[in-house]
Structure 1
């Protein structure tokens, strides 16, 4: 049975594009929708160019989540994947999709997670702390930012000479290599 996935993203959408491309010829997974909370998010253009429908719900609509849930149900979405989505997932979605919403975070949680810790902020904190490793964490989404059960982690070395941009490049490479594979694995068991 083919599983329908919705991707939630707020920004550029490089991870979303990577996921869409990965599953474009899949017989078991269909990326059916991209949702964003920002009208100017570049992920919307990426989705359009790859033939994936997209929709924007503004911040007040995300607060309750009822209209979003109705759309997900209408499109028979089985699983939700966050790819650079920067607002809290509403409780109504968490309850409708228990253990069926996952996120990728650009650090080795529980380090450098929580509200406001995303993108370059994370990489800057890693470098400022003198960390010798960083990486990615794929986790289930719950009511708290970056506190859901960890599914997978991958690491990369951080040298004393690395800038936040260097760390970001290493982390992005891990995201692109691992996230679609982990999505495929998790979707197949849920």
Structure 2
């Protein structure tokens, strides 16, 4: 194994389609990285996908010591970077500080618009439709204490058509999220970037 290869730990809660996209990209030579571990906060389809792919999988269940247990497992993963792929648990400030600029998340809008507390899932697309916005998309960003406020790695833009509903907009954005995540991971893995305020500048 290439000793310079970056390790990624992926945190999951749901079906694992983004996880599968990363697994497939690595297998297909499109992502020069290794998934060192998958951490789930519950038994889920994503955890099953990871096990099927032969990836070390650990379930850290929500409970009294969840945040400390999660931090310990993230440390044990020996990961260079962490990807939140449909991870529904909120990370506390201690975890974010411990892994500053190493945790990556996706959001289904063009941040900073339609982001922050209360903007998740279908609520985002409902707000976009109600606003009359003509464009939406997805954002891949570093995680900070500010919800959806971390440095933006990249964004993908698409048109909001007059006939779109929150459901159709969700499907359209979901279709571009995987490639956005993979492109963002390639940027981070390359190391050819710098963070300036809330921007990630690619060399």
Q: Is the 8 A contact 1:130 1:160 kept in 2?
A: no
TM-score (normalizing by structure 1): 0.89
Task: Give distance in 2, aligned partners of 1:86 and 1:92.
Answer: 17
Q: 2:38 aligns with which of 14, 20, 34?
A: 34
The answer (yes or no) to whether the contact 2:9–2:77 under 8 Å persists in 1 is: no
Distance 1:86 1:75, change over 3 A: closer
Mapped partners of 1:158, 1:25: distance in 2: 32
Specify whether residues 36 and 185 from structure 1 end up closer, same or farther in structure 2 by C-alpha distance, changes over 3 A only: same
Q: For 1:38 and 1:118, locate their aligned partners in 2 and report how far apart those are by CA, in whole Å.
A: 19
SS at match of 1:5: strand
- Any gaps of 5 or more consecutive residues in structure 2? 194-203
User: C-alpha displacement at 1:185, in angstroms?
Assistant: 1.0
What secondary structure does 1:60 align onto? coil
- Give the CA deviation at 1:178: 1.7
CA RMSD of aligned residues (A): 2.0
CA distance in 2, matches of 1:156, 1:17: 23
CA contact (8 A) 2:9 2:35 kept: yes
Contact 1:4 1:77 in 2 (8 A): yes
| Matching residue of 1:108 | 110
C-alpha distance in 2 between matches for 1:15 and 1:119: 15
Q: Say which is worse superposed, 66-75 or 136-145, in terms of deviation.
A: 66-75
Moved over 4 A (4+): none
Which of 54, 57, 60 is the equivalent residue of 2:57? 54
The TM-score, its normalising length taken from structure 2, stands at 0.84
Which of 122, 125, 128 aligns to 2:127? It is 125
Of 149-158 and 42-51, the range deviating more from structure 2: 42-51
C-alpha displacement of 1:61:
5.8
Give 1:97 deviation, angstroms: 1.4
Q: Partner residue of 2:196?
A: none
**1:25 Cα shift?**
4.9
- Counterpart of 2:173 in structure 1 is 171
Q: Which runs of 5+ in 1 are unaligned?
A: none
Query: Aligned residues, how many?
Result: 188
Secondary structure of the residue aligned to 1:103 is strand
Measure, in 2, the Cα distance between the counterparts of 1:165 and 1:24: 32
Residues 75-154 of structure 1: matches in 2 within 5 Å? 75-154=77-156
- Distance in 2 between residues matched to 1:46 and 1:165, nearest whole Å: 26
**Distance in 2 separating the partners of 1:158 and 1:51:** 39
Matched residue SS, 2:162: coil
